[in-house]
Structure 1
Amino acid sequence: MERNIQVLVVDDSAFMRKVITDMLNSDPRIHVIGTARNGEDALLKQKQLRPDVITLDVEMPVLNGLETLKKMMNEDPCPVVMISSTTKEGTENTLIAMEYGAVDFVAKPSGAISLDLDKVEKEIIEKVVLAAKAKLKQATPTKPIISKSLYQPFVKSQKQKIIAIGTSTGGPKALKDVITKVPATVSAPILVVQHMPVGFTKSLADRLNSLSSITVKEAKDGDLLENGTAYIAPGGYHLVLRQVESSFFIKTHLEEPRRGHRPSVDVMYESLSTISDIETIAVIMTGMGADGTEGLMKLKQTASCYAIAESEESCVVFGMPKAAIKTKLVDEVVHVQDIAERISRLV
Structure 2
Amino acid sequence: MDEVLALAIKVLVVDDSAFMRNMVSRYISEDNALEVIGTARNGLQAIELTKQLAPDVITLDIEMPVMNGLDALKRIMAEKPTPVLMLSSLTETGAAATIRALQYGAVDFIHKPSGALSFDLYKVKQDLSEKIKTAAQVSLRNLLKLKYSPLPKNQIPSSKRGLPPRHLIAIGASTGGPQALLTVLQGLSADFPHAIVIVQHMPSPFTASLAERLNHNCSLTVREAEHDARLEGGCVYIAPGDRHMNIAETGGVCRIKLHQRPSKGLHMPSVHELFTSVSALQGLKRHLVMLTGMGSDGAEALAEGKAAGAATTIAQSKESSVVFGMPRAAIETGAVDYIVDLEDIAAKLREVTGLPSLSLSRE
| Aligned counterpart in structure 1 of residue 80 of structure 2, from 65, 72, 76 | 76
Question: What's the CA shift string for 1:74-114, capped at 9, x where partnerless?
Answer: 01100111110111121111111111111110122538997
The equivalent residue for 2:342 is 336
Q: Percent sequence identity over matched residues?
A: 47
Contact 1:288 1:319 in 2 (8 A): yes
In structure 2, the CA distance between the partners of 1:264 and 1:105, relative to structure 1 (3 Å rule), is: same
RMSD between superposed Cα atoms in Å: 2.0
**2:108 is the counterpart of 1:104:** yes
AA aligned opposite 2:31 = D
The 1-side partners of 2:30 and 2:184 are apart by 39
The one-letter code matched in structure 2 to 1:44 is E
Counterpart in 2 of 1:238? 244
Shift in alpha-carbon separation, 1:124–1:257, aligned structure 2, 3 A: farther
2:40 to 36, 41, 47: 36
Please, which of 205, 208, 219 is the counterpart of residue 199 of structure 1? 205
Displacement of 1:303 after TM fit?
A: 2.1
For each residue in 1:223-244, what CA deviation from the matched residue of structure 2 results, as whole angstroms up to 9, or x when unmatched?
1000000000000110001111
- 1:147 is matched with none
Return the match for 1:289 from 289, 295, 319: 295
SS of 1:313's equivalent?
Answer: helix
Give per-residue Cα distances to partners, 1:18-57, cap 9 Å, x unaligned.
Answer: 0000000000100101100001111111122111110000
Matched, 1:126 2:130: yes
2:80 corresponds to which letter in structure 1? D
Which structure has more RCO (C-alpha within 8 Å, separation ≥ 6)? 1
- Kept in 2, the 8 Å contact 1:289–1:319? The answer is yes
The residue number in structure 2 matching 1:149 is: none
Structure 2: runs of 5+ lacking an equivalent: 147-163, 354-363
Cα distance between partner residues in 2 of 1:270 and 1:115: 34
1:252-263 equivalences under 5 Å are 252-263=258-269
Normalization by structure 2: what TM-score?
0.87
Pairing 1:77-96 to 2, within 5 Å after superposition? 77-96=81-100
Greater mean alpha carbon deviation, residues 328-337 or residues 161-170: 328-337
Q: What is the CA-CA distance between 1:305 and the residue it aligns to?
A: 2.7
Change (3 A) 1:98 1:26: same
Match of 1:320 in 2: 326
CA contact 2:77–2:105 (8 Å) conserved in 1: yes
State whether residues 13 and 113 of structure 1, in contact with CA within 8 Å, keep that contact through their aligned partners in structure 2. no
Aligned match of 2:154: none
Pick which of 270-279 and 20-29 moved more: 270-279
> In structure 2, what residue type is equivalent to 1:311?
S
Residues 165 and 194 of structure 2 are in contact (CA less than 8 Å); yes or no, is this contact kept in structure 1?
A: no
Conserved? CA contact 1:85–1:112, under 8 Å: no
Write the distance in 1 (CA, Å) between the matches of 2:145 and 2:173.
20
After superposition, give the CA deviation of every residue in 1:315-336 in whole Å (9 maximum; x if it has no partner).
1100000011111111111111
Q: Could you say which residue in structure 2 is the equivalent of 1:280?
A: 286
Moved over 3 A (4+): 109-116
Q: How many residues align?
A: 331
Q: Which residue of 2 aligns with 1:4?
A: 8
Aligned to 2:17: 13
Gaps of 5+ in 1: 142-157
Name the stretch that deviates more: 251-260 or 99-108: 251-260
CA contact (8 A) 2:245 2:258 kept: yes
Q: Find out whether 1:307 has 2:313 as its counterpart.
A: yes
Q: Distance in 1 between matches of 2:243 and 2:116?
A: 26
SS in 1 for 2:345: helix
Q: Is the 8 A contact 1:217 1:231 kept in 2?
A: yes
Residue 57 of structure 1 corresponds to 61
Instruction: Tell me by how many angstroms 1:257 deviates.
Output: 4.6
- Counterpart of 1:333 in 2: which secondary structure? strand
SS of structure 1 residue aligned to 2:207: helix
For 2:115 and 2:284, locate their aligned partners in 1 and report how far apart those are by CA, in whole Å: 44
C-alpha distance in 2 between matches for 1:245 and 1:111: 51
What secondary structure, in the 3-state scheme, does the structure 2 residue paired with 1:54 have? strand
Q: Is the partner of 1:337 in helix, strand or coil?
A: helix
Q: Residue 167 of structure 1 contacts residue 285 of structure 1 at CA under 8 Å; is this kept in 2?
A: yes
> For the residues of structure 2 that align with 1:336 and 1:208, how far apart are their CA atoms?
17
Shift of residue 171, structure 1, vs aligned partner: 0.4
Partners of 1:303 and 1:224 lie apart in 2 by: 23
Structure 2 CA distance for partners of 1:7 and 1:271, relative to 1, 3 Å? same
Distance (whole Å) between structure 2 residues aligned to residue 23 and residue 328 of structure 1 = 40
Partner-residue secondary structure (3-state), 2:44: helix
